């Protein structure tokens, strides 16, 4: 059974007498006493490797632009990058220099043990079960008849299965990830799903991101301001539909790869001016409206049936907190006498076993944590999370330029609990403008006398130099103002302290007219009598239909029913089901797109249907 969070104030043998706990300076050997054990570790070894760089396939952005893609391994060092491009070599133009984001080290986890806990759905039943999940409680989404047509000129009709508000606009309480401005580029998603007689009827269950490019126009958290602009993208590089057929709990993990080839811009509907394009890199960098698991490609005449259960959701995203060790934060001192390591307060987890801190018994007065920052910073927001079992009450944040003269920049009360669960129990102060090289967080009081505790302490702002992951980063940038029909050279360039590396030169030809651009993709869900096929379609700004041709040879002879592919200038996934197949036969197929500018044919591809006995 999983833990059910609630308030608890009682004595326990883990308490120690409070005392000052001192930490070593940056770069020195780390020597500390924790729980009576002497801990010593050498500093991290220096990095001396230049980045590794790969240029990837770009995607069309109408007939005058493209989205450049690539990936970088920064060797754990702060790294900047740009794309070079031009009609000849050497390239005469380049995109604006960008910095790679910090480490994937911030975590949001929801178990749904006690309810929907801040999540929403267009299924009005919003059914919750206390037990029987992959671990403890879970939530259930039932198929609905309410269609969302806001994206019919893009990816098509959708059903909103479950979604969460992470940013400053929220008609219900927001979970405020990263103080309302989370970065989900290359984020890792984990979730358990189970289908209950789920019949997709051509739909897919996929991730969906919605961001607002001008949140400053909103007058308050519940009202969209005049001229609001929302961009919607569907991560079509991964679907969860295949995990729904077994009727058993299945755990899934996937990465939201920051490559335009893995995403479909969802477009808009006539009369909804607010839904507009914003490049995928910016949409994921500022995921400030909501994110979903969405049922996409809905046919209103043949909607899906059944239900889907969800449990054990977790997402790991970019950690921008100024106090995070990878961004230059260093704990200088903390109240001692507790069995909990105070380093847990900046480990990226809001709460959870081993992810929080609680004081020694009977705190005599204010408890103080002091941090030193590697670089001078400007503090813009502070977010302090509650300990569900040992709640603190009043807290104060102070900053200093020299570690001697301090001034208070925020003071307030943490909620003891929140009706939506511990992920929502925090104090958030935004709109700050405080210069700092040192920070103090003080607990002034608690809700019970036995002990005071905290979850994560987060601080956001400008000026930190962030270490990167020892992993690949996917990057992309839009390039506009190109000439239709022109061939361009393109490559990715990255620089860190050890040197500069350039990716392989790639060439890309901009379309000369708005005839659809199509790419035939793979086949899957292959049976003896049917198979799913997919491809990539770019309408290039014209109302476009698509279908798949298929048959036993390259003359095809059969085609799927035409589907509307929208009228956007970006590529989207196109899928269909081939039926009436012969067992154990090799089939040829290709994607076809057609609009007023003409018809385009994808490359031929093949698959072999299963034998009847398989």
Query: Average pLDDT of 262-279?
Result: 91
pLDDT at 272 over 90: no
Q: Report the number of secondary-structure helices (H) and strands (E) in the chain.
A: 1, 40
pLDDT in tens, 505-516: 999 999 999 999
Report the Cα 602 to chain-centroid distance in Å: 32
Return the higher-pLDDT residue of 484 and 33.
484
- Decide if pLDDT at 7 tops 60: no
The answer, yes or no, to whether residue 417 has pLDDT greater than 80, is: yes
Contacts of 411 (CB under 8 A, 6+ apart): 394, 395, 396, 397
DSSP state of 2: P
Q: What is the pLDDT of residue 533?
A: 98
In 469-541, alpha helices (H)? none
Q: Does residue 45 register a pLDDT over 60?
A: no
pLDDT in tens, 211-223: 999 999 999 999 9
Taking residues 413-439, what's their average pLDDT?
98
- Whether the CB-CB separation of 531 and 587 falls below 8 Å is answered with yes
Per-residue pLDDT tens for 159-188? 999 999 999 999 999 999 999 999 999 999
Q: What's the pLDDT at 474?
A: 98
> What is the pLDDT at residue 614?
62
Token pair belonging to 297: 């490609």
Query: Which pLDDT score is estimated for 576?
Result: 98
CA distance linking residue 614 with residue 602, whole number of Å: 30
Q: How confident is the model at residue 15 (pLDDT cuts 50, 70, 90)?
A: very low
% of residues, the chain, pLDDT over 90: 90
pLDDT at 418 exceeding the cut of 70: yes
Distance CA 462, CA 480 (A): 29
Residue 18 has pLDDT above 60, yes or no: no
Picking from 30, 31, 25, 27, the residue whose alpha carbon sits closest to that of residue 45 is 27
**pLDDT in the model for residue 104:** 98
Query: 475 vs 276, 317, 481, CA distance in Å?
Result: 22, 15, 20
**Residue 270: per-residue pLDDT:** 75
43 or 557, which is more confident: 557
Q: Which two tokens stand for residue 317?
A: 């995203």
Mean pLDDT of the chain: 92
What the chain holds in terms of domains, given with CATH numbers, is: 19-44+320-462 (2.60.120.260), 52-100+468-509 (2.60.40.10), 104-318 (2.60.120.260), 517-608 (2.60.40.10)
The pair of structure tokens assigned to 446 is: 């608690």
**What are the structure tokens assigned to 480, written together?**
């506009």
**In this structure, how many other beta carbons lie within 10 angstroms of the beta carbon of residue 405?**
9
Residue-wise pLDDT tens digits, 356-371 = 999 999 998 999 999 9
Q: Residue 17: is its pLDDT beyond 70? A: no
Of 159-173, 266-280, 409-423, which range is least confident?
Answer: 266-280
Between residues 296 and 22, which one has the greater pLDDT?
296
1, pLDDT greater than 60: no
Over residues 243-250, the mean pLDDT reads 98
Mean pLDDT lowest for which of 2-6, 136-140, 495-499? 2-6
Report pLDDT for 47. 56
Spell out the residues 6+ positions from residue 437 whose beta carbon is closer than 8 angstroms to its own.
372, 373, 375, 376, 377, 400, 401, 402, 403
pLDDT at 268: 84
596 pLDDT more than 60: yes
Binning pLDDT at 50, 70 and 90, where does residue 271 land? confident
Q: Is 226 within 8 Å of 217 (Cβ atoms)?
A: yes
Q: For the residues 86-104, what does the mean pLDDT come to?
A: 97
| Mean pLDDT of the region 600-607 | 98
* Residue 407, CB-side half-sphere exposure with 13 Å CA sphere: 9
């Amino acid at each position: 059974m999983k833990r059910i969070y609630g308030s608890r104030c009682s004595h326990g043998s883990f308490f120690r007498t409070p005392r000052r706990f001192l930490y070593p300076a940056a770069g020195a050997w780390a020597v500390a006493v924790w729980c009576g054990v002497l801990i010593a570790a050498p500093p991290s070894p220096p990095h001396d490797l230049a980045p590794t760089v790969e240029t990837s396939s770009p995607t069309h952005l109408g007939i005058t632009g493209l989205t450049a893609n690539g990936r970088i391994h920064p060797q754990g060092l702060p790294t900047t990058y740009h794309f070079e491009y031009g009609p000849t070599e050497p390239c005469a133009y380049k995109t604006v220099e960008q910095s790679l984001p910090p480490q994937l080290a911030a975590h949001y986890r929801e178990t749904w043990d006690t309810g929907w806990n801040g999540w929403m759905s267009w299924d009005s039943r919003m059914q919750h079960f206390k037990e029987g999940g992959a671990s403890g409680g879970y939530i259930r989404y039932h198929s609905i008849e309410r269609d969302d047509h806001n994206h019919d000129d893009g990816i098509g009709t959708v059903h909103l299965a479950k979604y969460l508000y992470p940013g400053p606009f929220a008609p219900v309480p927001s979970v405020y990830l990263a103080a309302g401005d989370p970065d989900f580029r290359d984020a890792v998603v984990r979730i358990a799903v189970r289908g209950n007689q789920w019949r997709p009827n051509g739909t897919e269950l996929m991730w969906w991101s919605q961001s607002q490019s001008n949140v400053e126009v909103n007058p308050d958290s519940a009202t969209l301001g005049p001229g609001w602009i929302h961009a919607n993208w569907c991560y079509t590089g991964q679907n969860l539909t295949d995990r729904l057929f077994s009727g058993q709990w299945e755990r899934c993990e996937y990465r939201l790869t920051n490559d335009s080839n893995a995403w479909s811009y969802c477009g808009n509907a006539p009369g909804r001016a607010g839904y507009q394009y914003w490049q995928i890199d910016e949409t994921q960098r500022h995921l400030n409206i909501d994110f979903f698991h969405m049922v996409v490609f809905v046919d209103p005449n043949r909607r899906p049936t059944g239900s889907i259960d969800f449990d054990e959701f977790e997402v790991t995203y970019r950690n921008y907190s100024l106090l995070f060790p990878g961004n230059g934060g260093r704990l200088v001192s903390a109240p001692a006498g507790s069995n909990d390591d105070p380093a847990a307060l900046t480990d990226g987890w809001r709460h959870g076993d081993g992810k929080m801190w609680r004081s020694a018994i009977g705190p005599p007065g204010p408890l103080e944590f002091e941090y030193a920052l590697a670089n001078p910073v400007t503090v813009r927001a502070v977010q302090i999370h509650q300990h569900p079992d040992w709640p603190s009450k009043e807290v104060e944040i102070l900053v200093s330029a020299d570690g001697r003269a301090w001034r208070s920049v925020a003071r307030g009360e943490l909620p003891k609990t929140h009706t939506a669960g511990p992920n929502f129990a925090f104090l958030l102060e935004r709109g700050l403008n405080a210069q700092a090289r040192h920070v103090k967080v003080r607990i002034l009081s608690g809700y019970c006398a036995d002990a005071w505790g905290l979850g994560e302490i987060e601080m956001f702002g400008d000026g930190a130099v962030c270490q990167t992951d020892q992993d690949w980063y996917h990057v992309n940038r839009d390039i506009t103002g190109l000439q239709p029909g022109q061939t361009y050279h393109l490559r990715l360039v990255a620089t860190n302290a050890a040197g500069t590396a350039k990716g392989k030169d790639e060439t890309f030809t901009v379309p000369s007219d708005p005839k659809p651009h199509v790419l035939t993709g793979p086949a899957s869900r292959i049976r003896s009598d049917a198979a799913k096929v997919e491809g990539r379609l770019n309408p290039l700004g014209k109302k476009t239909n698509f279908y798949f041709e298929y048959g036993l040879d390259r003359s095809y002879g059969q085609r799927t029913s035409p589907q509307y592919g929208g009228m956007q200038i970006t590529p989207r996934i196109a899928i269909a089901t081939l039926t009436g197949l012969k067992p154990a036969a090799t089939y040829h197929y290709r994607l076809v797109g057609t609009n007023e500018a003409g018809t385009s044919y994808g490359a031929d591809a093949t698959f072999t249907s299963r034998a009847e006995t398989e």
